Amino acid sequence: MVRRRLGRTDFRVAPIALGTTKLGRNTDVKYPASFDLPSEQEVACLFETALALGINLIDTAPAYGNSEARLGKVLQGHRQEIVLCSKAGEQYRNGRSVYDFSAAGVSASVEASLRRLKTDYIDILLLHSDGRDVEILTQTAALDALDKLKASGTIRALGISAKTPAGIREAARRCDVVMAPFSQRESALGDALAEAHENGLGILAIKGLFSGHLEANSAIEFVLRHSFIDALVIGTVNPAHLEAAVKIAERRR
């Protein structure tokens, strides 16, 4: 796969990225069918398949159960090959999401992620929005905390996993990367994402298959035909799904 620069960052990423929600969490998710969490061997196989296919961006989050801890095990010996993206602001505890966008909360979350991931830096750190994108970006100290972590080298790029056009446009003022849902079924953020990309932000699309409710071939082609999408994050525990997505991407780019 041909890699492209992710906005104004120094990262070059493949058009397909690996999302890891299913590595660590199978409750309160929106997939059409229930699923078991993969074994350690299956996690290792998925990771090795991703590397072999040329996938180099992996997305995780504290809210994805024990996804970070499981990734931390397989990342050893491969850290330099991976653009690692995680998040702060949301934790999933006792069956519900808990949000904390205070400076102390964000900093503590990142420190905990570093320990679980067994690394001393995270390439991309996104605020895990609860839908109040603009408020989080402008009325909390979350971005200030990320700025300090970036200045210290603990993170290399910062941004938000956004849910609103206004949030995406606000992110263009201070962020490096925006992650947002974009699909055939859910394309309302397209104009804001295109503007953000024009302003130098890296754009990561999620939910391109609408949480598994869309046919994969046409869904992936739809997302990747939009030039403002730098990479589509595919959440799966099935190596065959990654292989199929990469084949589609190679036809598109």
> Which residues are designated catalytic?
64
Measured CA to CA in angstroms, residue 178 lies from 40, 163, 164, 246 at distances of 31, 10, 11, 22
Strand 155-161 relative to strand 122-128: parallel, antiparallel, unpaired? parallel
Q: Render the burial of 47-78: b for 16+ CB within 10 Å, e for the rest.
A: bebbbebebbbbbbbbbbbebbbbbbebbeee
Q: Three-class SS of residue 212?
A: coil
**CA atoms lying within 13 Å on the CB side of residue 75:** 27
Measured CA to CA in angstroms, residue 43 lies from 8, 70, 130 at distances of 32, 8, 28
Taking Cα atoms as reference points, which of 248, 143, 162 lies closest to residue 205?
A: 162
In this structure, the dihedral spanned by the alpha carbons of residues 21, 233, 86 and 159, taken in order and rounded to 10 degrees, is: -140
Task: Report DSSP state, residue 79.
Answer: G
Q: Which residue has tokens 């006792």?
A: 94
